[in-house]
Structure 1
Amino acid sequence: MSQNTHRVRDDFEAALLETTPFLRAFARTLCHDADQAEDLAQETLVKALTCRHQFQPGTNLRAWLSTILRNRFYSGQRRLRWRGEYDAEAMERTLVAPDDPAMTCELEDVRRALAMLPDFQREALILVGAGGLSYEEVANIAGCPVGTVKSRVRRARDELTAILFEGRTAPQPSAPAPLAAIVDDFDRLRRGRSAA
């Protein structure tokens, strides 16, 4: 194996290590369970290593990894749907501020407020706000138009502001019609297969 090949491999692995904290945090926002999130982040890294030949050098590695993680999460959720509901009591804190106890309380409020958002809004806000991904990259990950991502992020920010500063609770999403739910599941499955 040439030195150039070793260097490319080392660069890819170093970039994966650098992105790992973001993947773990993103997994926690999706899973709401620290153990499940760790497993999901590890599965994503293993998948990325085995499929590194599919990564296009010069593109955004964080966006590529987010797509893998998100697809693995939703695939797992579809399987879990047949096993029963997720235990919300098992939720662990995802935000910690060990140096400032007052900040820990504020971060806990933010975590609770994030948990009140609909999944699609929380996901878009985390990827854009915390992940630093562009609207276009998040649109590719979520498989929706850029305008939809912008709308989701804007609404998520507005809802967080209302929850945190006005004491308002997030609106409960209405239950989708059965046919719409089936179509959504089909679309996610199709997107998941094309990204994996």
Structure 2
Amino acid sequence: MTHQDPRDQLVEHLPALRGFAMSLTRNSSAADDLVQDTIVKAWTKIDTFEVGTNLRAWLFTILRNTFYSDRRKAKHEVADIDGIHTSKLAQKPDHDGRLALKDFWVAFKQLKDEQREALILVGASGFSYAEAAQTCGCAVGTIKSRVNRGREHLAELMELDDDESLELTDNASMAVLNAAKGFIA
């Protein structure tokens, strides 16, 4: 006597699995996710199913175990939608440098749109002046001018001088400086 492949029978158990999942989760979206997880686990572990035994009971066991495992894991998770808990865990870098990434972005946002666009294309994205000019639909000289004016204005906003010596000794300050160099150099 040949037995039917259990994978072929999974679909007929979906309504019963969804009903059981709804009774556990009381949420249709969560129930659908639970059923999907159950089917994926059953499919990948089908070789452990003993043909001739009750497939529905086996599937319900997987669903139930998945549900309770997820609940146990959820007890250790904290919902942090607004980032309040994360901000308490973050440690601000200890440094004496004048340049902070936040200050850079505040200054960068104050630039004219054309200057920001030119600096992003040439400074951050590595475009040549010709490629940036083609992208923006203007002359190469216009892009060069926008980049130069943008760098100068950024240096003004950040109160940086060409001959100014920045005393940066820690890794965080050096990373900020290196990130900004492409825009202000």
Q: Which has the higher helix share?
A: 1
TM-score (norm 2): 0.39
Which structure is larger by alpha-carbon Rg, 1 or 2?
2
TM-score (norm 1): 0.37
